[in-house]
């Protein structure tokens, strides 16, 4: 919205500042941060009043969770999403189809997660929305987003870029409508599985989003894209503003989610954030790099897949408990140890992902 003020720059030159993506990214982050700070306590109070017993805690999980986390309200993703959406609408170029596409997936996955949280809270069980139904809804939203990118995109939209290879793009054709939605849905559910300890999912999500903000800005700039040897995708630079909005909202949420958490993100937030990250990765043609930058989420998801497959095939478990962060809890690691160490891993993986921009 504020971007349109730049149209009046010929009459008042200072308004030209709203053309700069870096300025609007910073403005979006600050706006979302203060929005969540201001409305956060009100949201927490309202959710605590509505939910009563709060998020149900798994009886087969670490016993410390039953003592310290019982009664904590969930659906904190509403705080993040409201700050993200309001700030994005205020600072982003709303003529950009990438912005609307990412918002579509983020809001759509958020609605699915909200319904899942609602069922868990009202039924007081950790089992919510049917897995198959949830995945089907996510797939529909992801396919729709990819169709929009194909309609408004360039000939390279359906391509798959290979890291460390300068300028090579493998054209997927219509298979793009299978591959790209898979990336988006997988990303959403991987972040969802990571959300199990106070602050565990939100900080790695911010680190990954900050990384893709840099990538999106570079991919949307013809000069820097050529210099780095990555695919130039016109318009993706605007996604940096959306990323800034999320980082600001995420920092605001972390203030209330820091141990001991006053509120949990819930599926409302984790599904939406994973979908956001996956959609941006698809938009900027860095789907493979997402596996590196989001490596922590990948490991969390794989630990669940391996655990389930092993138990069904052999009757034995590979980990003491899955996702893997619970495995380390069972080994005796404290919650702060796990969370901070996983943050460090996420940061290192983000640096590795960024290094692929130049190693070509």
| Percent of the chain residues past pLDDT 90, beyond the cut | 67
Global confidence as pTM = 0.93
Chain centre distance of CA 239: 13
Q: Contact, 302 vs 285, CB < 8 A?
A: no
How distant, in Å, are the alpha carbons of 50, 76, 81, 107 from that of 270? 21, 10, 10, 12
How distant, in Å, are the alpha carbons of 193, 294, 343 from that of 349? 18, 7, 10
Report d(CA 115, CA 134) in Å as an integer: 10
| Tens digits of residue pLDDT in 126-171 | 666 778 899 999 999 999 999 999 999 887 889 898 887 776 778 8
Tokens for 247, please give them. 């980082």
| Close Cβ partners of 320 (under 8 Å, ≥ 6 residues apart) | 326, 327, 330, 331
Tokens for 97, please give them. 């189809």
Burial of 49 (0-12, 13-18, 19+ CB in 10 A): exposed
| Tens digits of residue pLDDT in 12-64 | 888 888 899 999 999 999 999 999 999 999 999 888 877 666 566 655 555 55
pLDDT at 66: 47
How distant, in Å, are the alpha carbons of 213, 238, 303 from that of 318? 36, 43, 9
pLDDT at 253: 96
Length reported for the chain: 360
Burial of 123 (0-12, 13-18, 19+ CB in 10 A): exposed
Per-residue pLDDT of the chain (360 residues), as tens digits, is: 788 887 777 788 888 888 999 999 999 999 999 999 999 999 998 888 776 665 666 555 555 554 456 778 889 999 999 999 999 999 999 999 999 999 999 999 999 999 999 888 887 666 667 788 999 999 999 999 999 999 998 878 898 988 877 767 788 999 999 999 999 999 999 999 999 888 999 999 999 999 999 999 999 999 999 888 888 999 999 999 999 999 999 999 999 998 888 999 999 999 999 999 999 999 999 999 999 999 999 999 999 999 999 999 998 999 999 899 999 999 999 999 999 999 999 999 999 999 988 776
Burial of 282 (0-12, 13-18, 19+ CB in 10 A): buried
């Amino acid at each position: 919205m504020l971007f349109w003020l730049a149209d009046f720059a010929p009459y008042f030159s200072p308004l030209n500042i709203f053309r700069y993506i870096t300025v609007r990214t910073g403005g979006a982050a600050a706006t979302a941060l203060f929005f969540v700070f201001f409305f956060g306590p009100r949201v927490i109070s309202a959710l605590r009043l509505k939910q009563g017993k709060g998020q149900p805690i798994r009886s087969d999980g670490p016993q410390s969770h039953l003592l310290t986390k019982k009664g904590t309200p969930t659906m904190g993703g509403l705080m993040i999403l409201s700050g993200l959406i309001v700030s994005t609408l205020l600072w982003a170029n709303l003529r950009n189809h990438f912005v609307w596409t990412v918002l579509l997936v983020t809001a759509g996955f958020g609605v699915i997660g909200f319904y899942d949280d609602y069922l868990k809270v009202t039924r007081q069980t950790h089992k919510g929305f049917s897995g198959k139904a949830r995945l089907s809804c996510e797939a529909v939203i992801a396919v729709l987003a990819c169709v929009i990118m194909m309609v408004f995109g360039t000939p390279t939209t359906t391509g798959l870029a290979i890291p460390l290879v300068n300028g090579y793009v493998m054209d997927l054709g219509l298979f793009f409508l299978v591959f790209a939605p898979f990336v988006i849905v997988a990303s959403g559910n991987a972040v969802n599985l990571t959300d199990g300890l106070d602050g565990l999912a939100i900080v790695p999500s911010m680190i990954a989003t900050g990384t893709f903000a840099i990538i999106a800005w570079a991919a949307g700039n013809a000069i820097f894209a050529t210099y780095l040897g990555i695919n130039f995708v016109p318009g993706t630079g605007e996604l940096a503003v959306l990323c800034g909005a999320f980082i600001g909202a995420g920092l605001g949420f972390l203030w209330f989610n820091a141990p001991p958490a006053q509120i949990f993100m819930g599926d409302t937030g984790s599904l939406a954030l994973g979908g956001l990250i996956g959609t941006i990765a698809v938009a900027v043609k860095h789907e493979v790099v997402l596996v590196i930058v989001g490596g922590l989420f990948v490991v969390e998801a794989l630990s669940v897949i391996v655990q389930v497959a092993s138990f069904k095939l052999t009757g034995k478990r590979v980990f003491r408990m899955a996702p893997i962060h619970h495995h380390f809890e069972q080994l005796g690691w404290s919650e702060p140890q796990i969370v901070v160490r996983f943050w460090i891993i996420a940061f290192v993986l983000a640096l590795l992902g960024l290094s692929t921009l130049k190693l070509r």
